[in-house]
Homo-oligomer: A and B are copies of this chain.
């Protein structure tokens, strides 16, 4: 992502192992509680390699969040391709979320979690805002395609539902909240299209 990726991926190793280890540990246990030593131990990588690849822990965190953002986009868009009807596509977001919150390792929104344990004004805030803006933009497009009279308004409402279902999925463990959010979204969609 940074400068020049010479000839694409050739081996399964190096910086990818670091990112994979960082992703698992940071998401599962938080950024502050996981030290560099834990990351390099799980990655099976020397400390010098980490600091020559990423320059600091904060840059590793940024890369971790950027990876999450990219994965989230592709997963969400891929999940939406199952549907043709614009209304189903809109509601499909909550079905993807239900699948996600149903998996045992779910611990809430990685970006909110990271932002909750970091002082504002850093790299985390940037990626977090980008991710959030993308979500709202996606909802806006889906709302427009579904024929909402005020797509921005519906998008804002759906963001609230999405956030709430994500929090519920973490705190109450399970996909109940996501499924209920889907029902509410159905109502809102019906009301927004008259």
Contacts and interface: CB of A to CB of B under 8 A. Distances in A.
Contact of A163 (B29, B118, B163, B176): B163
B165 A30 contact: no
A112 B171 contact: yes
Top 4 A-B pairs, shortest CB-CB distance:
A164-B164, A160-B164, A117-B117, A163-B167
A175 to B, nearest CB: 12
A129 B188 CA distance: 30
Contacts of A164: 159-165, 167
Interface in A152-191: 156-157, 159-168, 171-172, 176-177, 180-181, 184, 187-188, 191
Interface string A132-162: 1000000000000000000000001101111
A190 B134 CA distance: 32
A176 B156 contact: yes
Contact of A30 (B117, B162, B163): B117
Interface of A: 29-33, 108, 112-113, 115-119, 128-129, 132, 156-157, 159-168, 171-172, 176-177, 180-181, 184, 187-188, 191
A187 B164 CA distance: 17
B187 A128 contact: no
A113 B163 CA distance: 14
Contacts of A118: 30, 33
14 contacts: A30-B116, A33-B119, A108-B112, A112-B171, A115-B171, A117-B117, A156-B176, A156-B177, A159-B168, A160-B168, A163-B168, A166-B167, A184-B184, A187-B187
